[in-house]
């Protein structure tokens, strides 16, 4: 991966690989009602933006950097923040500015039947950028997604009188959807870890169990990298001394924080579980290897006296009396089988086998 110094560039570059064409979905609302407009052109959207109402503008697809630039200029978002929006590998952050706030997050989607999936890339992630202003909330996503459709429906139905509240309440609702996504994803990983632990404790894991542990470990690391920064940064949001946050909406941000703390605690549990699973997996492998060595040792011990007898009878001396016996061959087989059985019986009674 090649990184360029963005402070030495005046060009906006989308760093992702999504083929989704840039299109905009504007929802303007107040207590009286909701108006929506969908367009690929920001000029159409700009005419419909109403500063006297709350404007929620969803941007899907970041390929058209010219559209993104004009949109950000309209809302007075500075150039460096616009660069961060287009950089889909930007780390999670919450950043305050004089007239707006920027929140960069990740959302996740797991492949189905992941409990038995050994694909290391089975956890897909997408960057979501939220920008809060006095009369607007912007959401940027690099791919087409129905992730916030539930919020759109709530606006139309005026759930919890959402249309009568300020922009920071809408932000808290959007954040709650993101944190709920975290909770579902980390809970699924935790369930898979518990299933693996049960398999290891009963020593019935398949040959792919090591790869499955590594897959879940990678998913855990991706989640931790995306969510852990919020532990220290989220405190910036419910502050009442910022012009964009209001005392009346502080309980909603606190509720989101409660969900976030649950996710962080579950991540810590996953870390401990992963550590114990690795130790248990290594221990099981050692036990399995010891069991194999014990069986091989028993087999070798049984055949030691038999090898000795065969060696003695195989010597080509002229005056060996057994060579002339009529039933010498049969007797040799009987003696070897009896000795082998007695050695095996001895191990069995000693519970060494």
- What is residue 51's predicted lDDT score, i.e. its pLDDT? 93
Classify 292-349 by CATH class.
Answer: mainly alpha
Alpha-carbon separation of residue 173 from 64, 163, 254, 315 (angstroms) = 28, 12, 12, 91
- List the one residue out of 246, 96, 107, 77 whose CA is nearest residue 169: 246
Q: Where do the domains of the chain lie?
A: 6-284, 292-349
Q: Is the pLDDT confidence value at 67 over 70?
A: yes
- Going by their DSSP bridges, the two strands 54-60 and 23-30 should be labelled as antiparallel
Give me the mean pLDDT over the 280-308 stretch: 81
Q: How confident is the model at residue 288 (pLDDT cuts 50, 70, 90)?
A: confident
Q: How confident is the model at residue 1 (pLDDT cuts 50, 70, 90)?
A: very low
SS3 103: strand
- Single pTM value for the model: 0.81
Q: Is the pLDDT confidence value at 186 over 90?
A: yes
Q: Is the pLDDT confidence value at 112 over 80?
A: no
Window from 110-124, 161-175, 194-208 with minimum mean pLDDT = 110-124
Give me the mean pLDDT over the 174-195 stretch: 94
Q: How confident is the model at residue 114 (pLDDT cuts 50, 70, 90)?
A: very low
Full DSSP string of 176-209: HHHHHHHHHHHHHHHHHHHHHHHHHHTT---TTH
CA–CA gap between residue 130 and residue 85 (Å, rounded): 9
Strand residue runs (E) in 69-168: 93-96, 101-110, 123-132, 136-141
At 6-27, the pLDDT tens digits run 665 678 999 999 999 999 999 9
- What is residue 333's predicted lDDT score, i.e. its pLDDT? 85
Task: Say how many C-beta atoms besides its own lie within 10 A of residue 142's C-beta.
Answer: 24
- What is residue 213's predicted lDDT score, i.e. its pLDDT? 87
Q: Is the pLDDT confidence value at 146 over 80?
A: yes
Q: Which fold has domain 6-284?
A: Beta Polymerase; domain 2 (3.30.460)
- What is residue 105's predicted lDDT score, i.e. its pLDDT? 96
Which run of H or E residues covers position 39?
strand 33-39
| 202 vs 173, residue with greater confidence | 173
The partner residues of 350 in beta bridges, in order of sequence, read none
Rg (CA), the chain: 34
At 122-134, the pLDDT tens digits run 789 999 999 999 9
């Amino acid at each position: 991966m090649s990184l360029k110094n963005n402070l030495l560039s005046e060009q906006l570059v989308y760093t992702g690989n999504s083929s989704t064409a840039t299109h905009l979905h504007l929802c303007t609302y107040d207590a009286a009602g909701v108006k929506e407009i969908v367009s690929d052109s920001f000029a159409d959207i700009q005419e419909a933006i109403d500063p006297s109402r709350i404007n929620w503008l969803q941007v899907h697809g970041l390929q058209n950097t010219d559209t993104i630039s004009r949109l950000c200029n309209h809302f007075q978002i500075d150039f460096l923040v616009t660069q961060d929006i287009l950089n889909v590998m930007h780390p999670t952050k919450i950043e305050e500015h004089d007239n707006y706030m920027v929140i960069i997050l990740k959302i996740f989607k797991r492949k189905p039947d992941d409990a038995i999936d050994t694909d290391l890339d089975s956890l897909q992630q997408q960057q979501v950028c939220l920008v809060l202003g006095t009369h607007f909330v912007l959401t940027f996503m690099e791919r087409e997604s129905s992730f916030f459709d539930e919020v759109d429906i709530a606006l139309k139905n005026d759930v919890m009188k959402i249309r009568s509240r300020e922009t920071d309440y809408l932000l808290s609702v959007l954040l709650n959807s993101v944190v709920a996504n975290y909770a579902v994803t980390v809970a699924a990983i935790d369930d898979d870890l518990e299933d693996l632990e049960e398999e290891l404790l009963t020593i019935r894991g398949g040959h792919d169990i090591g790869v499955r542990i590594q897959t879940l470990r990678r998913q855990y690391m991706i989640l931790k990298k995306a969510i852990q920064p919020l532990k220290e940064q989220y405190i910036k949001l419910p502050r009442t001394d910022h012009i964009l946050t209001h005392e009346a909406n502080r309980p909603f941000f606190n509720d989101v924080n409660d969900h976030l703390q649950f996710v962080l605690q579950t991540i810590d549990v996953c870390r401990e579980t992963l550590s114990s699973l690795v130790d248990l997996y290594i221990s099981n492998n050692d036990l399995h290897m010891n069991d194999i060595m014990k069986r091989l040792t028993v087999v070798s011990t049984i055949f030691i006296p038999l090898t000795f007898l065969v060696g003695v009878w195989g010597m080509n001396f002229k005056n060996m009396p057994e060579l002339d016996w009529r039933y010498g061959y049969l007797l040799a087989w009987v003696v070897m089988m009896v000795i082998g059985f007695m050695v095996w019986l001895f191990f069995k009674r000693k519970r060494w086998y």
